Amino acid sequence: VEILSPPAGSQIGDLVEVEGYKRQPDAVLNPKKKIWVTVAPDLKTNEFGAATYKGVPLFIPGKGNIISQTLKGVQVK
């Protein structure tokens, strides 16, 4: 088990983005939608340790990628 590391200079409240995916949050979350169950299988670290969604790195704009220090090629839970 390892906690993912944000890039240097990150602050609480910074938005995490995935290139190619437009951020469109719901105004009100529907508790019947199982969003985590849908998204979780596609969250993994790549061979460099970067956290990815469907193979595309998670990043904080202007700061860098979200990474795992030691775990590579594994599921993010």
How do the pLDDT tens digits run along the chain, 77 residues long?
A: 899 999 999 999 999 999 999 988 889 988 888 889 999 999 999 999 999 999 999 999 999 999 999 999 999 99
- State residue 16's pLDDT score: 97
Phi, psi of 29, rounded to the nearest 5 degrees? -75, 135
C-alpha span between 33 and 46 (Å, rounded) = 28
C-alpha span between 51 and 27 (Å, rounded) = 27
Among 36, 47, 34, smallest CA distance to 74 is for 47
Kindly state whether residue 27 falls inside one of the protein's structural domains: no
Contact (Cβ atoms closer than 8 angstroms) between residue 60 and residue 11: no
- State residue 31's pLDDT score: 86
Kindly state whether residue 19 falls inside one of the protein's structural domains: no
Kindly state whether residue 60 falls inside one of the protein's structural domains: yes
Q: Is 29 helix (H, G, I), strand (E, B) or coil?
A: coil
Q: pTM of the entire structure?
A: 0.87
Domain that holds residue 73: 33-77
Kindly state whether residue 68 falls inside one of the protein's structural domains: yes
Kindly state whether residue 64 falls inside one of the protein's structural domains: yes
Number of domains in the chain: 1
DSSP secondary structure code for residue 41 in this structure: G
